[in-house]
Structure 1
């Protein structure tokens, strides 16, 4: 039992936890006061003579920042008391008896000071020390000595403190962008503020405006951590998906999206200020007496950078005579910072924040060029955009950006908030400009392709309207505006078609070509698809998906440039395949990432092979089937679910057993699922809603059945078995992984070799596939 349980029992402060109006710092301090009183009572009962002995709170408890399940960190300080061991026992055991998690130490002032000289944790914990009971003078002397010692040794400690900050960020990730952030240890979390306060105590005085902003952002994160403890009734720093709704409700947010947006915004602010301060401390070569004020600057040794700009201490700085009212000055500063790998000077950003006027409409050509140049710097652009955004300058340049700021995308598919995703997509697009004729349209389209997500309605339709307005305002001619709008309208066209449609079908190529309209737009969409997918997350882009998109672009470009569509389709089956089928040859061959099966045609053959592959730990990405001469040909492109090399002899043996009817596929799948698939406590929001659709419009030769569902072992086998029971012949299948969700697309014909047009038959398909999906989730 931790502090929460103790408060509800011996400390009798359950009314504090029940008081929902008490949140964040208010509740922490109230809990700390009650624990103080409780410990003071124990001390008074157990220590008759308190001369030369003090009970001191350190760490988070020393800051009076006691979350419901925080540890109690105590130092028993004494002046060589011979009975200290017995006193410690009498103090600690009542705490342990209550089940509290206690961090404790017993030391003399001299021992403590000596340890603080060599141990960073001890030194920083004492910076937050607070007297609880006993000899107050003893506590006061120690804290004063430690503060002096910390200031004296601060420059020696700062590199180690900075290294710990960097290591913690690498280990815990970003609070602003992780699906389930670590509120304490992550970048932009509570510990970053602690580290800044410790650094401030050593070498500088923080600007009051920064200090106020950090306190406000800290309170947002702390309040979430407090409610995480209170709503789950256990300790923890990681805000899991299943806990976000409860924490949001406890803090009176409308929903978890609003909570996570608030956390992301505050974490971004903390992270940016943390980076700014640590970079300045690292780069500044000024003597200690000049480092007392963070904002103090000298203009010596400046180097000219651009019109009205100079460099100083690794930063891009506005010259004294620069026109901060001119918005082109801000764009010039941003472009220079990104181009030369510099940070933007804070006082310069503040001048712009105070004085910059809106951009005229249309933008001057120089403004448009500098904005595009900034985006074309690639990976250097997002930190610069973040700095502009933290100072509310980016939304003055691009007002439509505002609703997307820190907007969460709470699913396993997306790794970033909407605004960060757009910045990352533009940065990645800058590396692909050699594939297109208009690099400017590529990076701008990448930056704006999802801008509609911050607004009500379909994000693509809204985004098209927004982008048309933005492009007109920026001064682009109508033809370029049309291309940018098309990029937004069709930004999902290539990935959806490539992963869900048969690229051998001429109708597929014709339809994509029709929508893209020009080869230039097609190639822009191809590059945008890669940048968008990579920026989305690891499950959104793979070698397989990349090859499909490249193939789709190449085929469409071939046709759009006047090539014969027959030259690039109908590659399956090959003449060699037909020859083997006509001869009645049997083949089960696995090679590379492809399994080829030729065998006498039999009912449910596709489903049997799919089940054998699932049992072998393989995920089917793409499949094709063909039958004639009483033989069936099936080709499966697969990958290992664990990323291992495929053991083809074992896999083909399974397939042979399945084809011979000697493999209990359903029973073995059920056993494998119960062994390896652990049902999560909470299901992340699906990327797309579960559904089954029957499409008779997209192909002239087959019905396309598409289903969306949670990814489950054996789903392909069960779905294809259901299709087989309905007398449907599968011509091809594709599986798109959406990070916990999947989309299956099947090209099928009925028993007469025709499309499925009978409404009753379509109803039965829907019923059968919904049942197959449900059985996998049972």
Structure 2
């Protein structure tokens, strides 16, 4: 029987005929999805039209209107009917009788009904008072009766909505946020509510309402398909349960998957999660645009008055090379060339996360369309930017989702595809596999002060469950994948081995601590053999805690933490050997000796700048030889050699001048060179690798001139740095974990080693140097490294006579330095 035959039978046979035709339609396996929803709406329209016609003989100024989901023609098998009986108020008694003849047959069939009887004025007044009513009327569709009455209401409601949009849209956004808080995020829930959860059908309707306001619009790509997929799942859920439910319960997922022709429940959930992510991302972008438009409307008159009636120009603040902040978003600079800068997506993402700002949709799409693939292995800057992104804390999540929405993550890390949107059928886990990995990186960023290699901790957090997309033990599969990914990213062989060990044994500590006898020496020895070194144990301890905290509230407790800490202490005792000595510096090069002699002769600082490069290698699978010249060097940064006669204030002065000139310190070493025999005193030699924050290097002459002024006290570096920071009041930055300063006991016989782990920021070394100067200790040597957003620095200090500091004095210096950095 065709759909036309079905409608005719429904009209001829009344309610029972409609019920029979409806049942046959729902049982047709050949028709599902949008065609079935449309046919069901048409069938219901015909039946209600018949009821309306029979009950409205001689009655004018009345119409029957479908609103809400029925108005959109989206009738699922157990959807309720949202109906409005609209009238002009001329004969309220007859209208009430007509309403009875419409509503009772619907109730008699057991269908849920949301109904109202109103005049156009009453409908508009109710909509003005109740946002949900207004949203339903935005989808009003004429079924029967006076078409002009319905059209007039639609026109008036749309006009009201557009006129009131600056007031109603913030209300709608708040409504969506409250619902998300109650229902959670659809893209991560094991038993999601397809309608009410964030990223569900309610949010899709909200996006339609925003578009109808003409104030902003949602990203269209993929949105219609995502909405259709969620509706298809709800249809199958209604048919499987026979109930009007939107919650996809665990016990019904296999049946729903079968109804949709899917392989299994996991495939079903992955499709639901993918659709929800599209809706959620579109919502984020849309509400951000709504906020931007409303803000611009609020400030435009004032700006025009200030500018004498001219058009206001959006302020652009630089964040990184090729990346700027504009109007509360991170966008590409006008001179940015993503087609020639393969690191730009990671640099932009890291800058956005560090500034706690969203990435502009236009910027992400431009980079996705134009950016070149990264060479293999990645250049050093790309690896550093990835680590910075992962170490940025909570802002990393939103930035990562923006990259993932446009396919940039799987382009950078192809192995990510297997864990993307992958459900975890474990009550302990509250996230999908991919989101759990990002959450672990967020948690790990809070623990970076506890480890000497925060870059390895963050990358291990990102990769520790990467094997869950493969058959077998995910730790074993993950070790293989981690080796490949770490090598591709550009870590050296030793670091690759550490990362592989961390991924392979990321469950070792918690499993052993909670399931084995820690008093048994064999237990501790087996863990020590698996871990291999103190540094790896330190990383594994932090990774264990971050992994558990990112799993869910049931995965970590003070009891588990104490057991793991006890095990780590025992394993560390087994792994401990002789105290390490201060590394002997390499013999000075001829260039260093020349600079030292020149500094002694002139009595002032001498500088030399030298670019460092490494050849670019290409991946034949992703980039043709014609795209890249293999002889073209990839810049690593600039080697800066500074020689200056030994005097107070050298370290804070040099560090401050570099920060003033926007030079980022990647690595740094300081040591004293003795002068030739018979000459008293020494020359301090600083060998640093620096990179320009925005691409352009200052002249060596300008650096030297400022350094001379800093050393003689005529340049107030602290004030200059404070002025620069104050110039960017809108840059919120990341709430980083506090600095941690410790004394490394027995690390050197010749000096006291003070380790500083802190969030890297302009002027950090200057502040450390000032604090050490004020503590009246002498820096014998230092070893500074910047790992992503983290500075990991070791300072070998002595007292005035060159001896190591006594224990209590060393601890006091560490406390003073920590307080200075935290303030």
TM-score by length of 1: 0.69
Q: Closer, same or farther in 2 for the Cα pair 1:376/1:8, shift >3 Å?
A: farther
C-alpha separation between the residues in 1 aligned to 2:392 and 2:491? 21
How far the C-alpha of 1:9 sits from its partner, in A, is: 6.8
1:67 to 61, 64, 76: 76
The secondary structure found in structure 2 opposite 1:234 is: coil
1:39 aligns with 2:48: yes
- In structure 1, the partner of 2:337 is 323
Check conservation: 1:155, 1:203, Cα contact below 8 A.
no
How far the C-alpha of 1:235 sits from its partner, in A, is: 0.9
Instruction: Please provide the CA RMSD for this pair.
Output: 2.0
How far the C-alpha of 1:90 sits from its partner, in A, is: 2.0
- In structure 1, the partner of 2:646 is none
The secondary structure found in structure 2 opposite 1:504 is: coil
C-alpha separation between the residues in 2 aligned to 1:549 and 1:298? 58
How far the C-alpha of 1:136 sits from its partner, in A, is: 1.1
The secondary structure found in structure 2 opposite 1:343 is: coil
Check conservation: 1:68, 1:229, Cα contact below 8 A.
yes
1:233 aligns with 2:228: no
> Deviations for 1:396-421, whole angstroms, at most 9, x for unmatched residues?
11111111111111221221111111
Check conservation: 1:11, 1:35, Cα contact below 8 A.
no
The secondary structure found in structure 2 opposite 1:184 is: coil
How far the C-alpha of 1:8 sits from its partner, in A, is: 8.9
> Deviations for 1:504-546, whole angstroms, at most 9, x for unmatched residues?
2222111111111111111111111111111112221122111
> Deviations for 1:663-714, whole angstroms, at most 9, x for unmatched residues?
xxxxxxxxxxxxxxxxxxxxxxxxxxxxxxxxxxxxxxxxxxxxxxxxxxxx
| Structure 2 counterparts to residues 24-35 of structure 1, below 5 A | 24-35=33-44
The secondary structure found in structure 2 opposite 1:378 is: coil
Check conservation: 1:77, 1:106, Cα contact below 8 A.
yes
C-alpha separation between the residues in 1 aligned to 2:111 and 2:274? 34
Check conservation: 1:155, 1:202, Cα contact below 8 A.
no
C-alpha separation between the residues in 2 aligned to 1:241 and 1:9? 33
Check conservation: 1:414, 1:536, Cα contact below 8 A.
yes
1:368 aligns with 2:378: no
1:159 aligns with 2:170: yes
C-alpha separation between the residues in 1 aligned to 2:120 and 2:480? 69
- In structure 1, the partner of 2:544 is 529
- In structure 2, the partner of 1:287 is 297
1:269 aligns with 2:264: no
Runs of 4 or more, structure 1, over 4 Å off, are 6-9
- In structure 1, the partner of 2:575 is 560
C-alpha separation between the residues in 2 aligned to 1:556 and 1:459? 25
C-alpha separation between the residues in 2 aligned to 1:286 and 1:101? 44
> Structure 1 regions of 5+ residues with no counterpart?
1-5, 291-296, 564-778
The secondary structure found in structure 2 opposite 1:40 is: helix
1:189 aligns with 2:200: yes
- In structure 2, the partner of 1:491 is 506
Q: Closer, same or farther in 2 for the Cα pair 1:299/1:218, shift >3 Å?
A: farther
- In structure 1, the partner of 2:582 is none
Check conservation: 2:315, 2:327, Cα contact below 8 A.
no
1:392 aligns with 2:407: yes
2:428 to 413, 417, 436: 413
Check conservation: 1:428, 1:531, Cα contact below 8 A.
yes
TM-score by length of 2: 0.65
C-alpha separation between the residues in 2 aligned to 1:380 and 1:65? 37
C-alpha separation between the residues in 2 aligned to 1:495 and 1:29? 54
The secondary structure found in structure 2 opposite 1:73 is: strand
C-alpha separation between the residues in 1 aligned to 2:355 and 2:274? 28
- In structure 2, the partner of 1:126 is 137
The secondary structure found in structure 2 opposite 1:540 is: coil
| Structure 2 counterparts to residues 7-156 of structure 1, below 5 A | 10-80=19-89, 81-82=91-92, 83-156=94-167
1:254 aligns with 2:263: yes
C-alpha separation between the residues in 2 aligned to 1:250 and 1:461? 35
Check conservation: 2:324, 2:331, Cα contact below 8 A.
yes
- In structure 1, the partner of 2:209 is 198
> Deviations for 1:481-524, whole angstroms, at most 9, x for unmatched residues?
11000001101111111111111222211111111111111111
1:169 aligns with 2:184: no
1:436 to 440, 446, 451: 451
How far the C-alpha of 1:299 sits from its partner, in A, is: 6.2
Q: Closer, same or farther in 2 for the Cα pair 1:199/1:288, shift >3 Å?
A: farther
Check conservation: 2:377, 2:488, Cα contact below 8 A.
yes
C-alpha separation between the residues in 1 aligned to 2:275 and 2:466? 21
> Structure 2 regions of 5+ residues with no counterpart?
1-14, 301-310, 579-823
The secondary structure found in structure 1 opposite 2:193 is: coil
Number of residue-to-residue matches in the alignment: 551
How far the C-alpha of 1:289 sits from its partner, in A, is: 14
Q: Closer, same or farther in 2 for the Cα pair 1:415/1:21, shift >3 Å?
A: farther
How far the C-alpha of 1:7 sits from its partner, in A, is: 8.5
The secondary structure found in structure 2 opposite 1:13 is: helix
C-alpha separation between the residues in 2 aligned to 1:378 and 1:286? 30
The secondary structure found in structure 2 opposite 1:320 is: coil
Check conservation: 2:314, 2:327, Cα contact below 8 A.
no
C-alpha separation between the residues in 2 aligned to 1:16 and 1:268? 32
Check conservation: 2:194, 2:201, Cα contact below 8 A.
yes
Q: Closer, same or farther in 2 for the Cα pair 1:254/1:231, shift >3 Å?
A: same
Check conservation: 1:11, 1:34, Cα contact below 8 A.
no
Check conservation: 1:24, 1:222, Cα contact below 8 A.
yes
C-alpha separation between the residues in 2 aligned to 1:267 and 1:410? 18
How far the C-alpha of 1:212 sits from its partner, in A, is: 4.3
How far the C-alpha of 1:456 sits from its partner, in A, is: 3.2
Check conservation: 1:11, 1:38, Cα contact below 8 A.
no
- In structure 2, the partner of 1:425 is 440
| Structure 2 counterparts to residues 583-622 of structure 1, below 5 A | none
C-alpha separation between the residues in 1 aligned to 2:30 and 2:468? 33
C-alpha separation between the residues in 2 aligned to 1:20 and 1:164? 38
1:508 to 523, 531, 534: 523
1:301 aligns with 2:315: yes
How far the C-alpha of 1:298 sits from its partner, in A, is: 9.1
How far the C-alpha of 1:286 sits from its partner, in A, is: 2.8
The secondary structure found in structure 2 opposite 1:131 is: strand
